[in-house]
Amino acid sequence: MYKIFFNVRCFLWSIAAEIEYKLYPWKSKEPPSWAISRYNIDHGIVDEYENNMYFGWIKSLEDKMSGIDDRLEHLKNEVDEIKK
């Protein structure tokens, strides 16, 4: 009985392995250049423009959050004045 379950489990794992080999066509740690361009994979190359873009994006988000904080503080003060 257990041998049948073991054989079924091994068969299912072999199917899963074949599907994995089809989905991930490269075998090395580094993906090929066609996969980097097609799937927009992180290539590990440090690009100055890319770093500036991320820094600008983070800076704009921080500015937006500080503006929201200022508005919330202003609204809190107005609500406190209305309650008085």
pLDDT digits (tens, 9 = 90+) for 14-71: 999 888 888 877 777 777 777 777 877 776 666 666 667 777 788 889 999 999 999 9
Q: Give the pLDDT score at 73.
A: 94
Quick one: 7 exposed, middle or buried, by C-beta within 10 A (0-12, 13-18, 19+)?
exposed
Q: In angstroms, what CA-CA distances link 16 with 11, 12, 29, 77, 78?
A: 9, 6, 20, 60, 61
pLDDT of residue 10: 93
**What is the structure's pLDDT at 79?**
93
